[in-house]
Amino acid sequence: RNKSVKKVDTKDADFSENPSVDTSLETILLNHAIPLSSLNVQARGIVHRLDRGTSGCLILAKNDERHAELVTQFFLRRVDKTYRALVKTKASSNLGDSGIITLPVYGRPALSLYEVEEHISQDIARLKVTTKTGRKHQVRIHCAKGLATPIILDEMYDDSANPGKKSEANRFCLHASTLEVPGIQVTEAPVPKWWEKVIQE
């Protein structure tokens, strides 16, 4: 493992040690004496981001040189990013066994590949989604608008989501399961255990 790179598998969307306090990942790591790049002083070490409420893999840089290299890899789209999502299925969904989604995201071209890993019930499916572009909220919009299968608990793009339930948990069923950057071993994170409770409900 390259010592200039810190790889973090966030196993839950709410990584704060005290859920009642809004604490950044940067602050938590620095408080534990983990060195971070200062290339971006407003977000030290942060090479890329996950939406608040999304769990999974993040790659952080410990020094400025490695940070610049990693940002270049993301910019040139050399990083393979795979997500898992629990989505709501219905008769009007555009969900095949697999496919390509090319729906623009906020007016910009966006490309995602998906496959259905499991039809958990009549109303829930688990998807594997690979993004080929890095638009903000891309997976969420492609699931909700491109496939008509909104991500469970994602109240921003699902009109039927329960706002009280979402705000209590501060998370939804989208997980960055793998990240593969050239020169770094594949980073993986298992899906959160709390998904089982969502499925049972």
Confidence of residue 19 (pLDDT cuts 50, 70, 90): very low
Q: Is the pLDDT at 27 greater than 90, yes or no? A: no
Mean pLDDT of 108-114: 97
Query: Could you tell me what percent of the chain has a pLDDT over 90?
Result: 54
Q: What is the pLDDT of residues 73-87, one digit of tens each?
A: 999 999 999 999 999
Q: Give pLDDT, residue 193.
A: 92
Q: State the chain's mean pLDDT as an integer.
A: 84
Q: Give pLDDT, residue 8.
A: 46
Q: Is the pLDDT at 21 greater than 60, yes or no? A: no
Query: Could you tell me what percent of the chain has a pLDDT over 70?
Result: 84
Measured from the Cβ of residue 1, the count of other Cβ atoms closer than 10 Å reads 8
Q: Give pLDDT, residue 94.
A: 81
Instruction: Compute, in degrees rounded to 10, the torsion defined by CA atoms 47, 51, 53, 54.
Output: -70
Confidence of residue 32 (pLDDT cuts 50, 70, 90): confident
51 is an active site residue: yes
Of the CA atoms within 13 Å of residue 18, those in its CB half-sphere come to 5
| Annotated catalytic residue within 51, 80, 97, 158 | 51
Higher pLDDT, 22 or 57: 57
Q: Is the pLDDT at 141 greater than 90, yes or no? A: yes
Residue 145 corresponds to which tokens in the numbers above?
């608008």
Q: Is the pLDDT at 191 greater than 80, yes or no? A: yes
Q: Are 131 and 80 in contact (CB under 8 A)?
A: no
Confidence of residue 169 (pLDDT cuts 50, 70, 90): low
Confidence of residue 51 (pLDDT cuts 50, 70, 90): confident
Residue 45 vs residues 65, 110, 188: alpha-carbon distances, Å: 11, 26, 19
Residue 101 corresponds to which tokens in the numbers above?
């989604």
